[in-house]
């Protein structure tokens, strides 16, 4: 956070950041592209993140910068998303210096105007290793490829109780070797962890399934039959030994996924339906 404060301080010291004179930002949109949301019943808000950017003719920055714009109608949001795209080098103007606010861990700014496509060799060069990092190879776990939309997620595979599943190392700037060690620790006791996951998922979600009448007529599976409908698809490993199991619901919740999360130190701490 000290680095962000220094960055914001430089913006505030720049006379070009006067709200009457919007600041030009040139940047490379990250792999997620643009999205949108509504605040209650208010207008739609478009948003995206610059993976790499610069303000005016200033230095190239690799701190992610979130950009938001109130676009109004849903149709205007669709146009906004088409204009921004994914992995595009574009130029926009913002009304005020980026701020770190609420619970965000990155600077954000409100967009005034979409100027259009841009050319900036320095920004493009700095973005290349961030958006397209090399594959990661581990002696025991094999090869992991960066996800095209989220390059911090390295996608590989593992065996879990005899089945092939996805294994994701979510680096978020951390060394993948550390995450791989956490993955190996988790994989070393598959029966024990599966027992914990089954208990947490059943205790948390079977009452929801029963009380909200998700079952078909006459459907009354035993605990083992109910759990057998869930299919483990992947496990994601995060910093500090945190992890998340992702299950196909087998139709129990009409296509919603089931998640179980926890850590190597604390065990399984949460299970929920999602999606």
Rounded (10°) CA dihedral 168, 170, 175, 176: 0
Per-residue pLDDT tens for 44-102? 999 999 999 999 999 999 999 999 999 999 899 999 999 999 999 999 999 888 887 65
- pLDDT for 213: 74
- pLDDT for 28: 98
Low-confidence ranges of the chain (pLDDT < 50): 1-17
What is d(CA 1, CA 8) in angstroms, rounded to the nearest whole number? Answer: 11
What pTM did the predictor assign? 0.79
DSSP 171-187: -TTS-HHHHHHHHHHHH
Q: Which helix (H) or strand (E) holds 80?
A: helix 74-84
- pLDDT for 103: 60
| CATH 2.40.50.140 location in the chain | 2-127
- pLDDT for 255: 81
CATH of domain 2-127: 2.40.50.140
Contact between 250 and 257 (Cβ < 8 Å): no
């Amino acid at each position: 956070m000290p680095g962000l404060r220094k960055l914001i301080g430089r913006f505030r010291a720049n006379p070009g950041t006067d709200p009457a004179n919007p600041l030009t930002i040139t940047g490379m949109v990250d792999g997620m592209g643009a999205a949108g949301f509504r605040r209650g019943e208010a207008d739609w808000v478009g948003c995206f993140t610059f993976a790499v950017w610069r303000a005016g003719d200033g230095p190239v920055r690799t701190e992610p910068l979130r950009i938001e714009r109130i676009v109004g109608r849903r149709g205007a949001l669709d146009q906004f998303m088409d204009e921004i795209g994914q992995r595009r080098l574009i130029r926009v103007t913002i009304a005020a210096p980026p701020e770190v606010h609420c619970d965000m861990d990155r600077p954000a700014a409100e967009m005034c105007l979409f100027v259009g496509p841009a050319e900036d060799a320095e920004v493009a060069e700095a973005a290349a290793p961030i958006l397209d990092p090399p594959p990661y190879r581990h002696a025991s776990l094999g090869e992991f490829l960066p996800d095209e939309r989220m390059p911090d997620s390295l996608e590989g595979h593992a065996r879990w109780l005899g089945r092939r599943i996805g294994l994701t190392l979510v680096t978020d700037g951390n060394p993948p070797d550390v995450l791989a060690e956490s993955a190996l620790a988790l994989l070393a006791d598959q029966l024990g962890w599966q027992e914990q996951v089954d208990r947490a998922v059943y205790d948390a979600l079977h009452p929801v399934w029963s009380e909200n009448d998700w079952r078909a007529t006459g459907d009354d599976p035993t605990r083992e039959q109910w759990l057998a409908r869930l299919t483990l698809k992947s496990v994601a490993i995060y910093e500090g030994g945190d992890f998340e199991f992702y299950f196909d619901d087998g139709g129990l919740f009409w296509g919603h996924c089931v998640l179980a999360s926890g850590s190597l130190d604390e065990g399984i701490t949460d299970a929920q339906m999602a999606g």
